[in-house]
Structure formats: C-alpha cells, structure tokens
Amino acid sequence: MSSNTIQVLYFAGARDATGIPSETLSIPSGSSEIAVPAFIQTLITQHPKLSKVFSTAILAINNQYVDHEGRLLEGGESVTVKVGDEVAVIPPVSGG
Amino acid sequence: MSGDEMDVAALQAEIEQLRTENAALKASAASGAASLLSIPFTVGRDDSGATTELTNAEIARFSRQLLMPEIGVQGQLKLRNISVLVVGCGGLGAPAIMYLAAAGIGRLGVVDYDVVEASNLQRQIIHDEPKVGMRKSESAKATVNRLSSFCDCTAYDMLLDSSNAMDLIKPWDIVVDATDNVATRYLLNDACVLLNKPLVSGSALRMDGQLTVYNYDGGPCYRCIFPKPPPAETESQYTSITFDFRICSTVPGIIGCLQALEVVKIAADIGAKFSQKLLIFDATFGSFRTIKLRGRSPACAVCGDEPTITELIDYVQFCGSGPSDKTPTQRILEEVDRITVEELGEFRKAAHSHLLLDVREKVQYDICSLPHSLNIPLAELEGRLPDVRAAARHGPNTSGTLPIYVICRRGNDSQLAVQMLQKTGFGQAKDVIGGLETWARDMDSSFPTY
C-alpha cells in the first residue's frame, strides 16, 4: 500500500453494498488524516448503499474498534483515519 | 518303550500344571492392575457437593485431554461439573453441541423449536436423513446420547421469548448463542446480562462468520457493540423480503467448533480469548481477523451504569422482525390483483396467452422454473421495465399487451413486483398467490421445492 492512501475492507453486508471486498482511497492532497465521521460520509458518498449498512456496522481502524465518532470509549479521545491506516467496515452477521 | 511313555505322561502333567499356574498368575496380575487403576486421582466431594474424582471409564474416555496440562484432571472435573445451554440446534449448534458432549461437558441443554428438514442436513451434521421431520432438540439429544454416556443432555423443544427465557437460562453456567436471528440474539444477550452468565456468541451467513464472547470478564455485551438492531428489511420499498437462506455448509461448522472451544476454555478456567474481541472469518478469502473491541459501555442500555432495560422487553417489536426463518406470508395486494395457482394452471392448459414473470434471483431460477417464464429478479426489475414491456407486447401490430402474472418462491416478492409494475404502467400485472411452493404442493408434485 502506498503511503498516502487508506485501505478500506468491506465485510459481509458491506461487501454486498459496495460490490467489492476492499479498495484503496486517497486522502485529499495536503492532509494526512481525516475525522472518522467525515470518512464515513466519504464512503457513503462513494457507495450510497452503505448508508443503511452504517446504521449497525462497526468500524475498526488497524483492527481496533472505534465508534462512529472515532472514539474507543465514551468520553474518550477521538482518533482520526490517517494515511497508511487500514479501515474495516463490519456489519453484524446474524444468521446461523 | 514303556519308559518313554512314562516320560511323556510326566511331561504332559508338568505342562498342564504350568498352564494352570500361568493362568492363575495372569488372573492375579490382571486384578492387581485393575485394583491399581481403580485408585482415584482425587477422592471425595468438594464443598459445593460436586464430585471430585474421575472414574476409570472417564480416564480412558478423556485421556487425550487429561494429558494436556491446560486441562488435566482438574480441568476435566470442571468440564464434568459445569452446565452449558446451547440455544439453537442448527448449523452453529450442531458442531458446538457434539464437541461439547464429546469433550466431557457434564450437563448440556439443547434448545430449538423447529423440526429437521432435508435442506438442513448440508450443514447441521448433528441430524441425519432418518431424522427428517423429528424435533431438532430431540434429534440433537439423541446424537449426544449416542456420542457419550458421560453427558446428561436435556432437550427443550421451545421457542425462546421474553416470557420463558429467564427461567430457562437461570440454572445454567454458560450460554451458547447458536441462533439464526437478530431478535433472539438481543433476547439472549439481555437475559445473560440480567442473570450474569457468559454468552458465547457465534453467527454465520453465506461465506461470513463471526465470534465473540459477551458479558464475560469485564468485557462488553452485544448491545455495547451493536446498540441498534439492523433496519427491518420490509422498510425498504421493493427490496426482497425473503429470509436469507444462503449458507456455505462448513462456515457455521467452523464457527460452531470455535464456540465449543471457547466454552471449554471458560469451563476449564483457561479463559476465553474472544472476550472483548470479534473474530471475523472470511471464507471467500480464507482469512481470520481479530478485531479488538471496546470494553463494557457505561452508557449501555442493559449492562451500563444506568441501565434502561432492567427486565426483558419485546424483542420482535425492538428488532422489527421475529425469530422464525419461515417467511411470513405477507398480504400486500388486494384480491383483485392476485390469481391462484389453480387459475394459473387453467390459463397454461388452455394456452391462454400471458407473460409469466419470475422475479426470483437467478440462482433460484436455475434450480427450477416453469417453462416459458421470463426471469427478472426483483432487485433488477426497476431497471429492466423495457424488457417486460417488450415481452408483454402482443398481436400483429404489437400494440396489445398480454396479461402479466408474476411468480416467486413463496408469493411475497411477487406482490412487491406487482406493486412496482402497476405504478409503472403495467396495470394488468397480477401476482400468483403462494408462489412456486404452492404450485408444487397443489398443482405439480413433481416440481422441486428448496
């Protein structure tokens, strides 16, 4: 992965919504990070069907859960998505 | 000569005596060994009344894991003295129940409300062909009984809901979520939080599997991670309302095995490694990925500092969908916009010109279809209205239009399709009540069902 991009992985229903298992996104030039809510909005703009997926899907940055505000815990500090990060979009699977 | 005969007789007598002595020694050695083996590893009962010794038969049965320092005698005794409730005897429950019984879990409860169907057997390996039609919980118990005489298994043929879940779960030490629907997942989660039980949760659909141990060792509960249920499918207009039945046979098998493993680790005090972690199994790419989850949420509605859920709620209402995978028969259209399979049969026999539009997915259409039908899946219908228009053209000047009969598997999606068609200029579209399943039942018993 090149150093000015973000790798996005789509699992389960997110893969259905986007039609792809993963993609590489570039961050607008001049910046090296993006806030999590803005990043989610970028993904939804790119793949409108993700909007429904994000009503339940969780987000993991480099295999660490963050909420849709980018926080690890309530009241905690927000993290941002940075170049070189890997972001996973994980909707709950309910079947069995 | 007589001297030789005497020697022979003496030698024969000596051989006989040695044989007798040998047999006596063998018997004595065997009983000595047996008495040595029968000395228990530990003797007596602990304060809780749980038995604290392994029998010879248990030593022989579980020797391979007794030899593992991670389990050993103490671990095996813990497995025997623990009770595990597995909710769901399907794709996840099948291997989970079998491995738990095989590993020596002393008491197992198995819960399911459904009966075994032929389409289950591709993945629910606890059931087999002679058990088609049998209650799943009874079938699971029968398999456990065959597998191990060391497991006391109780079958619960019941649909878990808010009225019975607390009483059912209360006596058990560990709960396994091997269900197939969102409503029961929230129900089990809340009950386990209220009763303080670890919940070993697995799920699988198509090529995806997930595993987490909830409400254990300070970790989060299901609601901490997924506070809101997914939007009910029926909310979105013209989206298929058919339950998703697609499942690769070994995917729930793999997750169910991992659930059994986590139970054994909790029971033997090795510790669950998927507390506060989410395992994602991607069968397409063959990858396992572990996501580090958040801890318990102080704001959680059920396990938080100020919980708003202090008793079980109505989970069907909360989720907008129920626990049954039997697609409920919807009634969207008026009588006048529908025809019966008998009427369709008459039209086809009389060669009455019409367009039969099958709105199932292509993979389903490939399994079976009625001759001379046009397949346009519901999801594609809006974009392929010109195809419908072309196929419905009729007459020498192609100005007339044929009646359109829309069919699907069970008669739900076909109604959504007719709604869409009627709003887009195909006022003549009608739906076939009950779909191909009803066709197979009432009109053509040789037509396959799936």
Written as one letter, the residue type at B405 is Y
Mean of pLDDT values over B363-372: 94
pLDDT band, residue B119 (cuts 50/70/90): very high
Distance from CA of B89 to the nearest CA of A (A): 10
Task: Find out whether B61 is annotated in a ligand binding site.
Answer: no
In a domain, B297, yes or no: yes
CB contact (8 A) between residue A96 and residue B208: no
Picking from B319, B347, B362, the residue at the C-terminal end of a domain is B319
From chain A, pick out residues whose CB is under 8 angstroms from the CB of B91.
Answer: 96
Q: Whole-angstrom Cα distance, residue A21 to residue B380?
A: 22
Q: B360 lies in which domain range?
A: 335-442
The answer to whether residues B214 and B201 touch, using CB atoms and an 8 Å cutoff, is: yes
CB contact (8 A) between residue B291 and residue A63: yes
A96 vs B91, B282, B284: nearest CB: B91
In a domain, B38, yes or no: no
- DSSP H or E segment with residue B431: strand B429-432
User: Exposed (0-12), middle (13-18) or buried (19+): which is B168, by Cβ within 10 Å?
Assistant: middle
* Residue bearing the bigger pLDDT, B180 or B351: B180
pLDDT band, residue B10 (cuts 50/70/90): confident
Tokens encoding A70: 């980018």
Q: Whole-angstrom Cα distance, residue B408 to residue B242?
A: 10
**Residue B292: per-residue pLDDT:** 96
Domain count of the fold of chain B: 2
> Residues 6 or more apart from B15 whose CB is under 8 A from it?
none
In a domain, B213, yes or no: yes
Task: Report percent pLDDT > 70 for chain B.
Answer: 88
Q: Is B232 on the interface with A (CB under 8 A)?
A: no
In a domain, B70, yes or no: no
Q: Whole-angstrom Cα distance, residue B354 to residue A80?
A: 59
Task: Report percent pLDDT > 90 for chain B.
Answer: 74
Indicate if B159 and B221 belong to the same structural domain: yes
Mean of pLDDT values over B392-397: 70
pLDDT band, residue B245 (cuts 50/70/90): confident
In a domain, A15, yes or no: yes
The answer to whether residues B62 and B73 touch, using CB atoms and an 8 Å cutoff, is: no
DSSP state, B42?
A: S
Distance from CA of A28 to the nearest CA of B (A): 27
Q: Whole-angstrom Cα distance, residue B161 to residue A88?
A: 34
**Gap between the terminal Cα atoms of chain B:** 89
Indicate if B346 and B276 belong to the same structural domain: no
Return the residue of B nearest to A73 by Cα: B294
- Rg for chain A (alpha carbons), in Å? 13
CB contact (8 A) between residue B230 and residue A55: yes
Indicate if B145 and B188 belong to the same structural domain: yes
Give the domain CATH number at B286.
3.40.50.720
Q: Is the pLDDT of residue B26 over 90?
A: no
Lowest average pLDDT, out of A60-69, B62-71, B190-199, B316-325, goes to B316-325
Task: Find out whether B46 is annotated in a ligand binding site.
Answer: no
Indicate if B369 and B307 belong to the same structural domain: no
Catalytic residues of B: 408
Q: Is the pLDDT of residue B398 over 60?
A: no
Task: Find out whether B181 is annotated in a ligand binding site.
Answer: yes
Return the residue of B nearest to A14 by Cα: B208
CB contact (8 A) between residue B230 and residue A88: no
Lowest average pLDDT, out of A22-36, B33-47, B319-333, B416-430, goes to B33-47
Indicate if B295 and B227 belong to the same structural domain: yes
Return the residue of B nearest to A15 by Cα: B208
Arithmetic mean of pLDDT over chain B: 89
pLDDT band, residue B39 (cuts 50/70/90): very low
Q: Is the pLDDT of residue B430 over 90?
A: yes
From chain A, pick out residues whose CB is under 8 angstroms from the CB of B255.
Answer: 96
CB contact (8 A) between residue A56 and residue B228: yes
B221-244 pLDDT per residue, tens: 999 999 999 876 543 455 555 567
B287-315 pLDDT per residue, tens: 999 999 999 999 999 999 999 999 999 99
From chain A, pick out residues whose CB is under 8 angstroms from the CB of B247.
Answer: 95
CB contact (8 A) between residue A52 and residue B236: yes
Q: Ranked by mean pLDDT, which of B24-28, B44-48, B170-174 comes out on top?
A: B170-174
CB contact (8 A) between residue A11 and residue B280: yes
Indicate if B307 and B340 belong to the same structural domain: no
User: Exposed (0-12), middle (13-18) or buried (19+): which is A9, by Cβ within 10 Å?
Assistant: buried
* Residue bearing the bigger pLDDT, B230 or B118: B118
Return the residue of B nearest to A10 by Cα: B282
CB contact (8 A) between residue A96 and residue B280: no
In a domain, A96, yes or no: no
Q: Is B133 on the interface with A (CB under 8 A)?
A: no
CB contact (8 A) between residue A93 and residue B278: no
Indicate if B281 and B409 belong to the same structural domain: no
In a domain, A95, yes or no: no
B289 vs A56, A63, A73: nearest CB: A63
**Residue B186: per-residue pLDDT:** 97
**Residue B231: per-residue pLDDT:** 78
**Residue B197: per-residue pLDDT:** 98
Indicate if B394 and B366 belong to the same structural domain: yes
Mean of pLDDT values over B12-29: 75
Indicate if B148 and B276 belong to the same structural domain: yes
Return the residue of A nearest to B96 by Cα: A96
Q: Is B92 on the interface with A (CB under 8 A)?
A: yes
A25-77 pLDDT per residue, tens: 988 777 889 999 999 999 999 999 999 999 999 999 999 999 999 998 877 88
> Residues 6 or more apart from A67 whose CB is under 8 A from it?
A58, A59, B294
User: Exposed (0-12), middle (13-18) or buried (19+): which is A42, by Cβ within 10 Å?
Assistant: middle
Indicate if B228 and B113 belong to the same structural domain: yes
Q: A10 lies in which domain range?
A: 5-90
Tokens encoding B289: 């990925």
Domain count of the fold of chain A: 1
Residue-by-residue DSSP string for A36-86: HHHHHHHHHHH-TTHHHHTTT-EEEETTEEE-TTSBSSTTSPBPEEETT-E
Q: Is B377 on the interface with A (CB under 8 A)?
A: no
Q: Is the pLDDT of residue B194 over 90?
A: yes
Lowest average pLDDT, out of A77-86, B97-106, B129-138, B349-358, goes to B349-358
Find, among B173, B134, B180, the residue nearest to B155 by Cα. Answer: B134
Q: Is the pLDDT of residue B52 over 80?
A: no
Query: Which residue shows structure tokens 């065959």?
Result: B146
Indicate if B95 and B209 belong to the same structural domain: yes
In a domain, B56, yes or no: no
Indicate if B248 and B368 belong to the same structural domain: no
Mean of pLDDT values over B197-213: 97
Give the domain CATH number at A79.
3.10.20.30
pLDDT band, residue B401 (cuts 50/70/90): confident
Lowest average pLDDT, out of B68-77, B190-199, B226-235, B403-412, goes to B226-235
Q: Is A78 on the interface with B (CB under 8 A)?
A: no
Report pTM. Answer: 0.82
B205 vs A64, A65, A93: nearest CB: A93
Distance from CA of A30 to the nearest CA of B (A): 30
In a domain, B450, yes or no: no
**Residue B326: per-residue pLDDT:** 60
pLDDT band, residue B35 (cuts 50/70/90): very low
Mean of pLDDT values over B397-405: 78
Find, among B265, B178, B261, B191, the residue nearest to B223 by Cα. Answer: B191
Q: Is B152 left (phi over 0), alpha (psi -120 to 50) or beta?
A: beta
What is the predicted ipTM? Answer: 0.94
